[in-house]
Amino acid sequence: MNIDETTRLQVRERAQFSCEYCGVTETDTGGELTVDHFRPQSKDGTDDLANLLYCCPRCNQYKADYWSADENEPHLWNPRKEAFATHLLMLTDGTLYSITPIGAFTLRRLRLNRPPLVALRLRRYHHSQEQRLLARYRDLVTVLEQLQTQQVTLLEEQRKLLEEQRVLLKLLLEQRR
């Protein structure tokens, strides 16, 4: 494969430096992933940017040079053309569940429920939940701070009113004498 560096960088950036099939990032793997032809070159696939995907070595290995040229053969999900949620659903235990035949085939072919991926998705899910809860906590702290400021203002107003009331009572008492 003769993909120039500019095209390679475009593919990496477009994929946000993550495998377009399983979501593993360069950070997760400690290095760059691979540029893959969705339609393999051995099946007349081109080096056109629309045919190039960024994927981890494992997904690339499992995909191999699969290409369904026959309508009756299962098709592989193309992450460049369809959203993940069109074919797959992530469950709260980190596993993927297929919701279409394309999703089921892709799940089996690429072994997307392999234990390290499930563990990674579960860690990410828990991390996102923690981040959501932290954001909610920050919002609550902000509201509490605003309420405290309002309370201080109200207490100051009450103090002034009590002082005015004390002055009025004193005046009334002096007038009665």
- Residue 62 within a domain: yes
- Residue 77 within a domain: yes
Reported as a single tens digit per residue, the pLDDT across 46-104 is 999 999 999 999 999 999 999 988 888 889 999 999 999 999 999 999 999 999 999 99
Structure tokens at 94: 């980190």
Number of structural domains the chain divides into:
1
- Residue 33 within a domain: yes
d(CA 148, CA 137): 16
- Residue 110 within a domain: no
- Residue 127 within a domain: no
Task: Give the 3-state secondary structure percentages of the chain, helix then strand then coil, rounded to 5.
Answer: 60, 10, 35
Reported as a single tens digit per residue, the pLDDT across 11-55 is 999 999 999 999 999 999 999 999 999 999 999 999 999 999 999
- Residue 142 within a domain: no
Q: Is residue 161 scored above 70 in pLDDT?
A: yes
pTM (predicted TM-score): 0.76
Using the CB atoms, write b or e for 72-100: b if 16+ within 10 Å. Answer: eeeebbbbbeeeeeebbebeeebebebee
- Residue 11 within a domain: yes
- Residue 89 within a domain: no
Region 95-122 average pLDDT = 97
Domain that holds residue 27: 5-81
d(CA 123, CA 93): 10
